[in-house]
Amino acid sequence: MDTLSSIFLCLIFAWICIQLLQYSLAGIRRNDISRKLLPPGPKPFPLIGNLFELGDKPHLSLTKLSQRYGPIISLQLGQLTTVVVSSSSLAKQILQNHDRIFCNRTVPDGIRGSCNHSQYGLPWLPVSPKWRNLRKISNSYLFAAKVLDANKANRQVKVQQLIDDVCESMSKGEAVDVGRAAFATTMNLLSGTIFSVDLADHPSSDAARKFKDNFAGIMENVGKPNLVDYFPLLRKLDPQGIKRHLTKYFRETVVFFNGMIDQRLESRKRHQYVTSCDMLDILLNISEEGNEDMDETQVKHLLLDLFVAGTDTTSVTLEWAMVELLRNPEVMLKAQAELEEVIGKGKLVEESVIVHLPYLQAILKETFRLHPAVPLLLPRRAESDVEIGGYIVPKGAQVLVNVWAIGRDPGTWDNPSHFKPERFLGLENEIDVMGRNFELIPFGGGRRICPGLPLATRMLQLMLGSLINCFDWKLEDGVVPETMNMEEKFGLTLQIAHPLRAVPNKS
């Protein structure tokens, strides 16, 4: 009780400080704002602003507000002015036309305070020579087509392991937890690509299990709304413990990486060592060449970013794709017919044939449209006042791009709530996810588009195509498509609230 009382008194004190600060600045702000045309939005309450407007599904709440106030809105979240855009044309303004002004991030307190990750993490670093160098390394040495091509045999092996695991479940008459299977495969694909080790295949390994638990903790805590982000005066209190928990998870994950790196460095000293050409070898080579932006500390933080950005987003997207295929059996049949015609029924999909599978690619695009893994992208920050859509976005404002709303905009898409891959076929100007078409930007756009996009799309195409070509699927326990629960769970990624369990049968 003493602890709770102390926290309550501190919160009251912080509230008084905020009120005094707001009062002292009221005259200045009133005159300043009168000269600015802020985007419309709901009237904020004293102190808390519009925090209650967000709810537990902010992407949906913000979409409803945009339907009421327009495609660009402003909210006051505590002390943080936030602007949200919900149309492709305004997203283009933010991510392309004014990319220089919006290229930096609003960094969450949990990221800033956890092992100084904001000083190393590629998604959070400000655009600077260091950021450009790290970006160049990622594009040239980690995700370049020739690098991914050299590692495609590893991806093929991991997809075969996924199919073998599903076959084992089928032989036992068991349903498959699609999200969990996709996560394990994605983890192995990434860890094989980075370390030449299958982390998800070693449940008996204490280090690997600890790594997976820490990773889950990072995902959970980064996705939580943090009062400190809205009321910076609470930073030292850390009332929700988010920074404390993230610091623990980050440190233990870095310790795990230390072990992997030390083991590799010892192996590299041996005369008989044969390079594996995995990402760790590449990064250590760059470090040993004296690149000042790629020392051992930077290597560990970059590895952390690769796992955080690559595992959950990919597995969540695959689970949503399978959900939609089971809800729309006619789409499943069309996809299976295409696969049978191109590669033969029951065979694994290989990367060389993806170009000949336009319907499979359309299914993934339609999944990205309806179920973007990161529905609000990572937040941007305005570096100066700028006019967007006839309104002023003030310097220092947090800017969110609601790609969930953009993907369901009836002004852009016919029947936007329907899963219809055919909308991406036969287009004169093909829509892709490379950040050029702002109607479909699940990976973001501009200079801060996700660098791992090429690897993510390859992994998804291989896993989804192989799962539906090797098996026929039905829902568990007599569930029918019409009664499937499509409720969403908002976090760092947009997950399906009720995990998909499906029963495989030999196709």
pLDDT digits (tens, 9 = 90+) for 299-339: 999 999 998 888 889 999 999 999 999 999 999 999 999 99
Query: pLDDT tens-digit profile of 444-501?
Result: 999 999 999 999 999 999 999 999 999 999 998 878 888 888 899 887 788 888 899 9
* Whether pLDDT at 230 is above 70: yes
* Whether pLDDT at 173 is above 70: yes
- Whole-number pLDDT of residue 20: 45
The percent of residues above 90 in pLDDT, for the chain, comes to 62
User: If you compute the radius of gyration of the chain from its CA atoms, what whole number of angstroms results?
Assistant: 24
- Whole-number pLDDT of residue 17: 59
User: 11: how many CB neighbours lie within 10 A of its CB?
Assistant: 16
* Whether pLDDT at 247 is above 80: yes
> Which pLDDT band, with edges at 50, 70 and 90, does 26 fall under?
very low
- Whole-number pLDDT of residue 9: 52
> Which pLDDT band, with edges at 50, 70 and 90, does 243 fall under?
very high
372 touches 403 (CB < 8 A): yes
CA-nearest of 437, 481, 500 to 89 is 437
Give residue for tokens 């960094």: 107
- Whole-number pLDDT of residue 481: 83
- In the sheet with 80-85, reading across from the earlier edge strand, the strands are 72-77, 80-85, 398-401, 380-381, 104-105
Query: pLDDT tens-digit profile of 178-197?
Result: 998 998 898 888 888 888 88
- Whole-number pLDDT of residue 411: 94
Left if phi > 0, otherwise alpha if psi is -120 to 50, otherwise beta: which for 83?
A: beta
The percent of residues above 70 in pLDDT, for the chain, comes to 91
Which tokens belong to 121? Answer: 């993490």
**Average pLDDT of the chain?**
88
State the Cα–Cα distance between residues 488 and 130, nearest whole angstrom: 37
Taking domain 36-506, whether its CATH number is 1.10.630.10 is answered by: yes
Count of positions (residues) in the chain: 507
CA dist list (Å): 206 to 256, 271, 450: 11, 30, 32
> Which pLDDT band, with edges at 50, 70 and 90, does 225 fall under?
confident
H helix count then E strand count, the chain: 18, 12
> Which pLDDT band, with edges at 50, 70 and 90, does 204 fall under?
very low
